[in-house]
Amino acid sequence: MNNTPMTTDELFRDDATLLQCTATVLAIDDGGVVLDRTVFYPLGGGQAGDAGLLQADDGRSVAIVDTRKHKERPGAIAHVPAPGADLSWLQPGQRVTAQIDAARRQAHARFHTATHLLCALVPHPVDGCSITAGYARLDFHMSEPLDKDTLSAGIARLVAEAHPVRHRWISEDELDANPGLVRSMSVQPPRGLGRVRVLEIEGVDLQPCGGTHVTNTAEVGTVVVTKIEKKSAMTRRVVLGFAEPAARPG
């Protein structure tokens, strides 16, 4: 692998509603397919990576099953192809349309926004977080018991109140002046870029976050607490799920 600097423009950071973009292939390597720009969110901050499709104008395509920050190319994003996928038509310079699995992303965004609502309801530091399309979990550093129904009702209230959700960039100096902004013990915001992305749920929560969210808490819909576990003396794990029944065949 050569050391040519290769970075991916992260379109999802400024507009998480984008479902597709055109892009140019920069490299294909063990990490996956690297594009010059993408709407695919890479695993990070507890949120799972996107899946989707890279497609050429002539219809050739490759399914992407996961997205990761490239291990060997800082600033590059690796689109992980499905096992056994034919990549022979993909060459550096190839133009493609990068399209995410919208349903999977919407599930991530709903759960991710719900974890912020949970942070507003449980005023304790977070020491772990995982967000998938099927569930989300948040570990709080605390010893007091939590009540499932009370938290579900709290989330439902914040969803019904339809608070706008938006991000903005603040300087690292501004962040240092407000240490209370950082709610998570395990995930510190990325440093050294001069600015930090903060996510604001108007009147509810404000914290550094690089993930993808819905644009209004109303879109979180019917997310409920499905389980509360005592993981250790100082850890309470809250698991979130969708309350709507899963689609069943027949």
CB of 77 or CB of 199, closer to Zn ion: 199
CB of 51 or CB of 136, closer to Zn ion: 136
CB of 116 vs Zn ion, minimal distance in Å: 6
User: DSSP secondary structure string, 118-181?
Assistant: HHHHS-S-EEEEEE-SS-EEEEEE--S---HHHHHHHHHHHHHTT-BEEEEEEEHHHHHT-GGG
CB of 33 or CB of 126, closer to Zn ion: 126
236-114-126 Cα angle (round to 5): 35
CB of 199 or CB of 223, closer to Zn ion: 199
- For residue 181, with 0-12 CB atoms within 10 Å meaning exposed, 13-18 middle and 19 or more buried, which class applies? middle
CB of 114 vs Zn ion, minimal distance in Å: 10
What angle in degrees, to the nearest 10, is found between the helix axes of 102-121 and 148-160?
110
Query: Which positions ≥6 away from 230 have C-beta within 8 Å?
Result: 236, 237
CB of 27 or CB of 240, closer to Zn ion: 240
CB of 110 vs Zn ion, minimal distance in Å: 12
Binding site for Zn ion (CB under 5 A): 199, 209, 211
CB of 45 vs Zn ion, minimal distance in Å: 7
Please, are residues 9 and 51 in contact by the beta-carbon 8 Å criterion? no
Residue 14, SS3? helix
* Of residues 74, 79, 75, the one with CA closest to residue 94: 79
Query: Which positions ≥6 away from 37 have C-beta within 8 Å?
Result: 8, 9, 10, 11, 21, 23
DSSP-H helix ranges across the chain: 11-14, 102-121, 148-160, 172-176
CB of 49 or CB of 211, closer to Zn ion: 211
CB of 184 vs Zn ion, minimal distance in Å: 10
CB of 96 or CB of 140, closer to Zn ion: 140
Closest residue to Zn ion, based on beta-carbon distance: 209
CB of 199 vs Zn ion, minimal distance in Å: 5
